[in-house]
Amino acid sequence: MLLSPEILSVKIEDGFLHDLDFMHVNDPFESSKTQKLKITNLTEFGETLQANHAKFKEMHNSPFETGCVNAVVQAHQIKELLDNKFRGKYLLVLAEENTSLIGWDGQDHATRKQLIQMSHAIRPPEKTR
């Protein structure tokens, strides 16, 4: 994602990032709980992950880093917020090299198609020497 340099960083943080939701906890037989994408919430999420999954603790990352690496936001919410707040002042560029890992012949078909359709451009993979 490329944002116009006209947009102040405080508007990006407070008016976009903090409006995104990520899945925080999903207890069995309970509704999924979401949190706003904020430092305190990501840190709490990382603490929960590190407490419940030994591998995350073994990586020696801070709880905040663990939360950031594992937080998932919905592509449609990102696009909706960008259109509402920054229409005409952003570009979505998809990295083709990782997109090719999303299969066309299964459940991921619709996800790959959605990502391609919502992107303004697709960045080709780096050439290896």
34 within 8 A of 21, measured Cβ to Cβ:
yes
Statement: residue 18 has pLDDT above 90: yes
Model pLDDT, residue 128: 67
Q: How confident is the model at residue 96 (pLDDT cuts 50, 70, 90)?
A: confident
Side-chain half-sphere CA neighbours of 38 within 13 A: 9
Domain map (residue ranges) of the chain:
21-72
Statement: residue 10 has pLDDT above 90: yes
Side-chain half-sphere CA neighbours of 78 within 13 A: 16
Query: Residue written as tokens 């509704």?
Result: 31
Please give the span between the terminal C-alpha atoms of the chain, in angstroms, as a whole number.
27
For the stretch 97-106, pLDDT in tens is 777 777 788 7
Statement: residue 39 has pLDDT above 90: yes
What's the chain's average pLDDT?
Answer: 87
Model pLDDT, residue 119: 83
